[in-house]
Amino acid sequence: MRRLVAGLVLALAVAGAPGVAVAAPEREKWDTRVFSLVPPPGYPAYVHAHSNGRVYAGTYLARDPRRASTPSKVVEWSAGGTLLRSWTVPGQDLDADHGVQVAHETADGELVLLEISRSRVMTLDTRTGRFRTVARLPEGAVPNFATWGPRGLYVTDYGDGVIWRVRRDGRVQEWFRAPELDGVAGFGTTGIRWMKGRRELLVAQQTLGTGATLPTNGALLRLPVDRRGRPGELSTLWTSAPGDLPDGFGVARSGHVYVALAGLAAQLVELDARGREVARFPEVPLSGDNGSEVPFDTPSSATFLGTSVLVANQSAVAGEPSHQAILDVEVGERGRPDFLPRRARFRQRLRSPA
C-alpha cells in the first residue's frame, strides 16, 4: 500500500514539474475549434492538406460587392493554423465571377489550382511564387473540385453535368456526362475523390434533376472506372435530405465519409462505407451551432488533418467576414491520403481543349 501511495505522489510530482511534457487531453468527437480566419477577399471553399505539412486554401467566388473586383488569393498556413503567406492569382477576368480553388498538388509539390473566371487549371510553385496555366476548359465551364485518377486529373464542373479529364500534356476531354450531374437551379457537381482500391470515383452532387427524388435532394454517387480508363455505370451511394447541398468530403481509413452540407442544414454528415448515415453534427440543423465561436455558415468541404477534418466555412450567402474561416472538427479517426501517383504532374506546353 505504501508503494502505491508513493508511486502516486511521484507521478503527480512529475506531472507538475516544470519542463516535463504532459500529453494533451484527448478531444471529444465533434469538438470544433477555429483553425484560422481567412483573410480578404475570403470565401474559402476547399482546404488542401499538403504533403509538405502545410495547409492551403483559395478565396472563391466573392458575393460581397465590396470584394467582387478583388483578385483571388492562395493562402498558406502551418499545420497549427498560423498564417504564413499568400499569393495573388494573376490574369483573372475581374469583371466576371472569379475565384480559385486549391484542388490538389502535383508529385513534385506544386499546388493544383482551379480558376473560374477563365476556366483554367493552373499550378503554383510555392518555392518561387510562379503561377502557370496548364489547361483551359471550354468557355463557360465552372471547375469546382479535382482528383488525380487513371491517366490524368478529373475535374467536376459545377455549371454543367460533366466530369472533365485533364491529361498531363494539358489536353482536356469531356470524359463523362450524365443527367444525374446536371443539377437544379445551378446547384451542380461538387466533390470528387478517386478510390484506388475500388477503382471508382466518389462524386458529390448538390441537387438531382432526374425525377427519381425531389429535385432539392443531393447525393453521393459512385462511378466505376475500368482498366482502360473508361467510365462505367453511375450509381447512388447515399441520398441527402432536401436542401442539404452536399459539397466537399473526406474519406476515413475506416471507409466512413464525412460530407459538408453547404445548404440550410449547415451540418457535417458521417456516412459508413455502405452509405448509411451514422451521425449529423450538429444534431440540430439550421443554426450551425458547433460549439466554437464561429458557427457553420456554408460549410463547403471536409479535409483530413490528423484525426480532425478541416472545414472551409464559406459564408456564401451571408458574406460574413468573421464566419469565413477554416474550422477544425475532431472526428476521432484518420483519413485516407489523397491519391497522388508518381506521374501526377503537367508538361510545360499548354494545349487547347480537345
Residue 16 in this model has a pLDDT that exceeds 50 = no
Residue 345 in this model has a pLDDT that exceeds 80 = yes
Q: How many CB atoms lie within 10 A of CB 87?
A: 20
CA angle 184, 188, 222 (to 5 degrees): 115
Q: How far apart are CA 126 and CA 177, in angstroms?
A: 34
Q: How far apart are CA 196 and CA 339, in angstroms?
A: 7
**Tens digit of each residue's pLDDT (9 = 90 or more) over 286-303:** 999 999 999 999 999 999
Rounded to the nearest 10°, the torsion over CA 147, 290, 38, 68 is: 90
pLDDT at 66: 72
Pair 61, 97: CB distance under 8 Å: yes
**Tens digit of each residue's pLDDT (9 = 90 or more) over 135-165:** 999 999 999 999 999 999 999 999 999 999 9
pLDDT at 101: 97
Residue 348 in this model has a pLDDT that exceeds 80 = no
In the numeric block, which cell numbers belong to residue 271? 456516412
Dihedral pair phi/psi, residue 72, rounded to 5°? -75, 160
In which band, very low, low, confident or very high, does the pLDDT at 266 lie, cut at 50, 70 and 90? very high
pLDDT at 350: 52
The three-class DSSP label of residue 11 is helix
At the top level of CATH, which class does the domain 26-330 belong to? mainly beta
Q: Is the dihedral of CA 35, 37, 43, 49 positive or negative?
A: negative
pTM for the model stands at: 0.91
Pair 282, 267: CB distance under 8 Å: yes
pLDDT at 4: 39
In which band, very low, low, confident or very high, does the pLDDT at 23 lie, cut at 50, 70 and 90? low
**Tens digit of each residue's pLDDT (9 = 90 or more) over 183-226:** 998 899 999 999 999 999 999 999 998 877 788 899 999 999 99
Each domain of the chain, given as residue ranges in start order, spans 26-330
Q: Is the dihedral of CA 310, 332, 203, 229 positive or negative?
A: positive
Pair 41, 67: CB distance under 8 Å: yes
